[in-house]
Amino acid sequence: MKNAIILAAGKSDRFAPFTYEKPKGLFRVKGEILIERQIEQLKESGIENIYIVIGYMKEKFFYLEQKYGVHLVVNNEFGKKGNLYSLYVVRQYLSNSFICCADHYFVTNPFIEENSDNRSYRAVSYQTGKFREFGVMCSDADAITDLTIGGKDSLAMVGHAYMNEGFSQIFRKLMESEINDFGVASMFWEEFYAKHMRQLTFYKKEFSPNAILEFDSIDDLRMFDSEFLLNVDSEIITNICETLKCNPYSISDISVINAGLTNVSFAFECNGEKYVYRHPGGTAGNLIDRQSELFAQLAAKKIGIDKSVIHMEIAGWKISHYVQNAQNCNFEKSNEQLTVAMKYLHRLHEVEPDESVKIFDNVAEGKKLMDIASATKGNLRKEFADLVEKVERLYSLVKADAKRLGYGLVLCHNDTYELNYLYDEKGEIYLIDWEYTGLNYAANDIGSILCRYDWSDEQIERYLKAFVGRTLTEDEHRYYIAFIPISAFYFFCWGLYKGSVGEDDGFFFLSSYRNLVRFIDFALKSYGEKE
């Protein structure tokens, strides 16, 4: 008896922003949900046992069990491993099995077929021009003899495959023996097959180029279904249309420009203008105070230090003008840019915050991140106990010093460094990314710049003078220098957190640690404390 396995665990980043809201397999195309159309085609061909491997936004597939009687199997490793691992988690069901992907569109039902010999096969079609799929070469007997990654003007693997019982047994045993070997779990299943072609025989089953559609981009989808954006059921599209007073047909050239821990952003065009949409999400969204961000973002627009924003909501999404030919400021090369950047901070610090703005405590927030990271990185509080104790002690001294010097809490950006300062083709500077805004000491906004680079004492003094506007007094110097390790502690902990969730921990991770170690004892000593 034949069955089917549908792979639906992946995230399909190329289809952002819509995959921020639902998996690609649940897109509505030509009036039908992709995976539902595929299930119905399988059932039409007599296939009743259908296993669907889910991972990304898995809960959105749950309804399929009740609606179609399919079997859902969870792959919780979808973000770290390839689709071979999805086959591995359902290996016990491999027999006479169709292997499908949830996002394929079969124009006609490919599962109703004559395969009297019960041969294992891979669907292929002739692709004109360059392609990214696996290219195939075949023998005179139609057996696949070789695979290439990509190709041009040749047969390529598209759509589904069929593994008979004999093929499945060998494939299953090979997976079980090798899945823990280096790099194997990260493979596409076709790569794993190619590795063992001498033991596994696939025959080609050729389809016409237009019979099986694998959409590579949103533009591909829109070419096939001109009403896709009308039927996609996307809050993102609704937000864009309501904000810009446009219709979905006006939206084009969608491309992801950032996919970070706290949000994802994409650029798009609408009626001849280019914009950026920021969608909240990622694994650290719960660490962001959106009320504080919203207040600061609107204030930044009002005082002219970030004119890009058009609209933002408390939910975290916002639409901004796309800054044409934007480049990051380079304070080391431009005194003018540095002067403007410091003026922007002073403007910000003069804004009167309302009750919605929360306190941003570097040490408390850093320890929170460290504790979360400890879930996968071991007991970090214990490992870095000496540094934590010193930072806590220094911060207590600094807060007392601030009171003596008459420094109160002000509205701060808390993430000021060169990458958050942009300038456009006209030379206008923008201070962007307001997610870490909160009440803090003004010195933290210069400390967060200084703590991320391995700069000399002379370079540091240049930034301090630019911020204060004159040579610092001894008391001021002690106070501002102390914020280098205080800021460094937070960004060091941020790097620990990023690494703990499988993200790049950032170029400033090591430099933040270096500056924490470099300045913590010096700062404590300047306050008369023992190291």
**How many Cα atoms are found within 13 Å in the side-chain-facing hemisphere of 27?**
28
Residue 196 has pLDDT above 80, yes or no: yes
Residues 199 and 195: their CA atoms lie apart, in Å, by 9
Give rounded-to-5 percent helix, strand, coil for the chain. Answer: 45, 25, 35
For residue 176, give the 3-state DSSP assignment. Answer: helix
Q: What is the mean pLDDT of residues 28-48?
A: 96
CA torsion through residues 468, 469, 475, 480, sign: positive
Q: Tell me the pLDDT tens digit for each residue of 320-356.
A: 999 989 999 999 999 999 999 999 999 999 999 999 9
Q: What is the mean pLDDT of residues 440-447?
A: 98
Residue 62 has pLDDT above 70, yes or no: yes
Residues 279 and 285: their CA atoms lie apart, in Å, by 11
* 295: number of Cβ within 10 Å: 23
**What is the pLDDT, as a whole number, of residue 49?**
97
Single-letter amino acid code for the residue at 276:
V
For residue 8, give the H/E element and its range: strand 2-8
The β-bridge partners of 53 are: 7, 73
Residues 330 and 69: their CA atoms lie apart, in Å, by 59
Q: What residue spans define the domains of the chain?
A: 2-218, 327-526
The number of residues making up the chain comes to: 531
Band the pLDDT of 399: cuts 50, 70, 90: very high
**How many Cα atoms are found within 13 Å in the side-chain-facing hemisphere of 231?**
15
**What is the pLDDT, as a whole number, of residue 113?**
79
Residue whose token pair is 């004999």: 166
Tell me what percent of the residues of the chain surpass a pLDDT of 70.
98
Residues 119 and 107: their CA atoms lie apart, in Å, by 23
Structure letter (DSSP) for residue 359:
B
Residues 259 and 142: their CA atoms lie apart, in Å, by 43
Residues 186 and 158: their CA atoms lie apart, in Å, by 20
Contact assessment for residue 420 and residue 331, using Cβ atoms and an 8 Å cutoff = no
> CA nearest 53: which of 18, 109, 92?
92
Q: What totals of helices (H) and strands (E) does the chain contain, helices first?
A: 17, 21
Q: Which fold has domain 327-526?
A: Aminoglycoside 3'-phosphotransferase; Chain: A, domain 2 (3.90.1200)
**What is the pLDDT, as a whole number, of residue 282?**
63
Structure letter (DSSP) for residue 197:
T
Single-letter amino acid code for the residue at 178:
E
Give the CATH superfamily of 2-218: Spore Coat Polysaccharide Biosynthesis Protein SpsA; Chain A (3.90.550.10)
Residue 530 has pLDDT above 70, yes or no: no
Provide the edge-to-edge strand list for the sheet that holds 144-163: 71-74, 50-54, 2-8, 96-101, 144-163, 121-138, 203-206
Residues 105 and 37: their CA atoms lie apart, in Å, by 8
